[in-house]
Homo-oligomer: A and B are copies of this chain.
Amino acid sequence: MNSFGRLFRIHIFGESHGESVGISIDGCPAGLPLKVEDFLTDIERRKGGTQKGTTPRQESDLPIFKSGIFNDTTTGAPITILFENNNTRSGDYQKQRAVPRPGHADFVAHQKFGGYEDYRGGGHFSGRLTVALVAAGVIAKKLLAYSGVEVVANILEIGGESDLEKGLQKAIDAKDSIGGIVECRVNGLPAGLGEPFFDSAESLISHAVFAIPAVRGIEFGTGFAAARMFGSGHNDAIADMSGRTATNHAGGVVGGISNGNGLVFRIAIKPTSSTPKIQQTLNWETGETESFSVKGRHDLCIALRVPVVLEAVTAFVLCDLMLAEQKIKRIL
C-alpha cells in the first residue's frame, strides 16, 4: 500500500500529470511549529534545477496545507499537504503510450493495473511524488531536531567519481545519463531503537529507502566490504559506558538496534532511465522492436536530487522508532 509507519505514519498519493501530488502524515505530535517557510530550502534542494545534470522542469512547488495545522502549529490531527502540478506537458507522453520506456515502470504498471493506469509521465510511479516525501521529511526532521537528532545525506560519488563535477562531465560527454552513491548520516540518535528480527532498524530504514525511485542497493556501516573482512577487524570494541565504539563498522546498528553511535548507510542510485541516447524497445501495438529516443525534460543524474529525499524517508523511520521508545513526547 502507499502508507508507511506505525506511530508516525505517512500516506502518499498523486500522479505526475494529474491535478496534484500530496501526502498525509498521521501521528505527528501536537505543538510543533510549522510554516510554509520551513519547507522552502528542502523543496529547493530537491529541484536540483540549478545544478548541471538536472531537469529544467520547474514547479513552483509551494506546499499547500490542507489539514492538521492551526495557528502555524501541528494540532495532532493528520497533516495533509498538497503540491499542485502546474507545469506539465502531457502531450510529450500520450503519443508514446505504445512504447514502454526502458527502465521505467510503464510496462509493469500496465501489467499490474490492466491498462487503467495513468500513464502520463509515469503517473503514480513518477519521481514527482518525491516532493511530497520531502515535505513530510521537513516535518520529521524538525521533530527529530527537537530531540537532538540530525539527519544529513550527501552524494559520495557520481559515475564512480568522488569529484562530482568530473562524474557529471562523463555523462555529458557520453550524451548519456549516469548513476551515483548517496550516504546518510544520523547524529544524536539514542541507543535502543529498533526491534530484533522483523522491525530491525535496518529493516525499517531499507523498507523506506527502497520507496525512493532508482535505488538499487543499501548498505549499513562497512556494508558489502564487511563480507571480505575478518571478524576481529570488523567488530567495534565498546570504549566506554555510554556504548561509544572506537571504530564504527557497524554503522550504528547492532542486532537490529541502534547502539548510540552515528548511524551510517549508503545507497546506490541507478543512472536515470530517461537517457538522451537512442535505445531499442518494444512497440506494444506493432509487436516490433523499435528505436526509442526520450523527449521531454529529464535529469542526467537523478542521484543529484536524492539526498534530501533520503533524509526525508530516514527521518520518518526514526520518528516512528523514537515515538515507540517514548523518546519523543506525544505533545511537545
Enumerate chain A interface residues (CB-CB to B < 8 A).
Answer: 1-4, 6-7, 9, 11-15, 18-22, 24, 26-27, 30-31, 65-68, 70, 73-80, 82, 100, 102-105, 107-109, 111-114, 116-118, 122-125, 129, 157, 159-160, 171, 174, 176-181, 191-192, 195-200, 202-204, 206-211, 213, 215-241, 243, 249-251, 254-260, 268-275, 277, 279-282, 284, 287, 289, 303, 324-326, 329-331
Question: Are A198 and B238 interface neighbours, CB within 8 A?
Answer: no
Roughly how many angstroms separate A51 CA and B279 CA in the complex, as a whole number?
48
Residues of B within 8 Å of A219, CB to CB, are 216-219, 224, 268
A320 smallest CB distance to B (angstroms): 12
A13-B24, A15-B67 are known; give 18 further A-B pairs, CB within 8 A: A1-B27, A22-B80, A24-B24, A30-B114, A102-B236, A112-B325, A125-B256, A157-B228, A174-B230, A179-B226, A179-B227, A206-B218, A216-B226, A217-B226, A226-B271, A227-B270, A231-B271, A235-B279
A132 to chain B, nearest CB (A): 10
* 20 A–B pairs (Cβ distance < 8 Å), ordered by A: A2-B78, A13-B66, A13-B78, A19-B66, A22-B67, A70-B118, A108-B192, A111-B191, A111-B259, A116-B331, A176-B233, A179-B229, A198-B211, A206-B209, A206-B218, A226-B271, A227-B268, A230-B277, A232-B275, A237-B279
- Whether the pair A4, B198 counts as a contact (CB closer than 8 A) is yes
Oligomer: number of copies: 4
The 3 closest A-B pairs by CB, nearest first: A105-B255, A217-B219, A231-B275
Q: Which of B208, B217, B282, B303 contacts A241 (CB 8 A)?
A: B282
Which of B1, B77, B125, B207 interacts with A117 by CB under 8 Å?
B77
A22 to B: closest C-beta gap in Å: 7
**Which residues of chain B are within 8 angstroms of A114 by Cβ–Cβ distance?**
30-31, 76, 331
